[in-house]
Chain A
Amino acid sequence: MTATVLTGARAGLVSCETCRLLSRPASLAEPGYCPRCGAELAWRRHQSIQYTWALVVAAAICYIPANALPVLTTNALGSSDSDTIMGGVVLLYTTGSWPLALIVLVASVMVPLGKLVALVYLLITVQRGSLGGTRDRTRLYRMVQFIGRWSMLDVFVDTFTVALVQLQPLMSVEPGPGVLFFAAVVVLTMIAAESFDPRLIWDPAVTRGNRHA
């Protein structure tokens, strides 16, 4: 299918990851530095797959306590309420504001999970040298990268609430341990997405194409 794909690496060229200048590497072993911006050139990111795997696994581990532990503890007039993320979603839904519940569900539960699943999918396909859907996978990667910056919404809201609602002794809001894990999930998935080299998606096509050619 995409047998005629030609990559820069195949052509003996390397592109700068910073300013995207296509240049001839100094040598095959040591591509050297970008002549324009001075960034270190690399054929492919260093141990990209292993790095990404490690971070994805770490994020997946953190995802469990992030959902199991309370993210917010509300003390109001002597009674205290601890809410997990799913608890908040259920509370919002049962109190009738299902649009808000949907937003929280999508932003706080589905998006981190989706990112993890997407990254795992990309890693597996790259490692297996899958040929199909290279364009779609690239688009998926871009989406993961793009959405990463919005995932901290929950943590933001949490910190804001904690900072604003401090009416001791009537009412106070304290962050729960879950929010730390949630932040860790977001940060780890962002770094994982960054450490994944999308050029790897296309490499099997090149090699496979050449082999067939």
Chain B
Amino acid sequence: MPESIDRDDLPQATVVPRRRVRISVVWVIPILAAVVAIGIAVQRVLSEGPTITIVFKAAEGIEAGKTFVKYKDVNIGQVTAVRLSPDYGKVEVTAKIAKSAAGLMVDDARFWIVQPRVTLSGVSGLSTLLSGNYIGFETGKSDRKQRNFTGLEIPPVITDGQSGRQFVLKADSLGSLGIGAPVYYRSLQAGQVIAYRLADDGKAVEITVFVNAPYDQYVDGGTRFWNASGVDVAVGAGGVDVRMQSVVSLIAGGLAFETPPFAVTGVRAAADTVFTLFGDQATAMKKPDLTGMRYVVYFDETMRGLSAGAPVTLLGLPAGEVTAVGLELDPQTANIRGRVEIVTFPERLIARLGQHQAAVGAALARSRQQRQVFFQRLVEQRGLRAQLRSGSLLTGQLFVAFDYFPDAPKAKIDWSQETPVLPAVPSPVTDLEAKLSGILAKLDKLPYEAIGADVTRALASLNVTLEDTSKTLNRVDTNVTPELKTTLEQVRGVLATVDGVLQNGVNSTLAEVNTTLGDLRRPLATADAVLKTTEATLVGRNAPIQHELRDALQEISLAARSLRVLMDYLDRNPEALIRGKAEVKP
């Protein structure tokens, strides 16, 4: 039952006004700002590519935040930090690579610093003069991702994207070749050297060349590569033949290739085929000698100037070469003689035969028996002998010549030996020497001492003779001289008398001359008068008479002058009247 409750006693519930939390629309602004900022951040994070480290020897022109990494001239990243390696020996460059290029960062990717580079074969990287250096990049073939790289010292030659093939050349030495050295095919640049390295055994250099697409099809299995550096000068009877690929190859070195017609295999060489690099074109294109026949020749003379590789000629034509020069010791006969091993190539001689004889020659080359018989006859009947001859007077290089010496002593060939011995004759040079020494020996035999004694004796007798002469002269001095003196005194007396006579003579002569002159004066006066009359009678100065007169007068005047000269002379030299005119003293 319900109990009555006083409602007023109950506590009143409080009414708490509901707090209405009203959120203003203005909060959209910070939300928007947050969304944008987060959006940018997310985008940044998403577009973030890998960060790689490249180790360089030196960071030439590389600056953090400014240097780019470029692949095919497209920026794929930027350098973010440059610092020294922990051991201070190298430089570690940290670069941030774009996400799009992240897939390129593989194991064998290459990095290098691109800077202006002026080499003999060209100028590269000029754009970096303005933009600054950048890091060049070349991706690799590997699939493995890599984040740490080692930068290259020298920019590699880029071949990716170019079609062509790569070949390896083995050479004894690198020579003047460098990275980028051109490879020529018929004087067209067909490729270039892209790398070189020492062979694993250290005994050769492996040069990697890249032959560009249109030309690589001409690299055959039998193609020969040779070093085309420098100038190839050949002096022949036809003149001087100068061959040069290009000025670049002259300076920077270069290679060339060609397939000799006899070596064409018709099969294209596969990429990375190894070829031998020949020293020059002639060696490279030389037909290989198929069958070489070995012989030994013994010489009993000096072999100075004969070396392996020296030619062997038959009647002056190349027939082979010297393979070894040595000595042979024979203890039984106590003899040491020169031993020259030669190899002859019958093909070379057959190539010289006339066309219709080629078959005969070939048959001879094939059959050992026939060849031996033929040779035997040549040696025994015709006198075929080996001889050392001087190839060059300047260098003294010798070669082995085979010629006919019908007078040579008989010889035989022992075919049973593995390398038959061919007979030899002394060389003309040594012959001459022998003759000279013979003459010297004869000279040596002359009785020099006896001759000396004779000469001494002759000289002694000469001495005696001279002494006799001296004595004779002394006698002359003592006996003859006084007599001579008296004779001279007498002569002087005679001369004195002559002098007196002369003086008197001259004086009288002068007086006579004086009177003669006085007489002359009179006719002259008459002449004067005559002249005056003549002048009066003859009109005109140029009258012939006048002329003649002048001449006459001149003659007279000359006569008078002569007379005066005579007088003077006589005055000075009165003896002239007797002795005549004296010689003019010098």
Contact = CB atoms under 8 A, between A and B. Distances in A.
Interface of A: 47, 50-51, 54-55, 57-59, 61-62, 64-65, 69, 77-79, 81, 177, 181, 184, 188
25 contacts: A47-B24, A47-B26, A50-B24, A50-B26, A51-B24, A54-B24, A54-B26, A54-B29, A55-B26, A55-B30, A57-B33, A58-B30, A58-B33, A61-B34, A61-B37, A62-B37, A65-B37, A65-B41, A69-B40, A78-B130, A79-B66, A81-B65, A177-B40, A181-B37, A184-B33
A98 B34 CA distance: 34
Most buried by A among B23, B27, B41, B132: B27
B30 A78 contact: no
B355 interface: no
Of A78, A177, A181, most buried by chain B (CB within 10 Å of CB) is A78
Nearest to A64: B37
A177 B131 CA distance: 25
Contacts of A51: 24, 26
A59 B33 CA distance: 8
Contacts of A57: 30, 33
Contacts of A79: 66, 131-132
Given A65-B36, A65-B41, A177-B40, 18 more contacts: A50-B24, A50-B27, A51-B24, A54-B30, A55-B26, A55-B30, A57-B30, A58-B29, A59-B33, A61-B37, A69-B40, A77-B131, A78-B127, A78-B131, A79-B132, A81-B65, A188-B29, A188-B33
Given A69-B40, A78-B130, A61 B24 contact: no
Cβ-closest 7 pairs across A and B? A58-B30, A78-B131, A57-B30, A58-B33, A54-B26, A61-B33, A58-B29
B32 interface: yes
A61 B30 contact: yes
A184 B32 CA distance: 12
Interface centre among B26, B40, B130 (most CB of A within 10 A): B26
A64 B39 CA distance: 13
A49 B547 CA distance: 164
B421 to A, nearest CB: 80
Nearest to A188: B29
Of residues B27, B33, B41, which shows the largest number of chain A Cβ atoms within 10 Å of its Cβ?
B33
Nearest to A65: B37
A69 B40 CA distance: 10
A25 B130 CA distance: 74
A69 B43 CA distance: 13
Nearest to B41: A65
Contacts of B24: 47, 50-51, 54
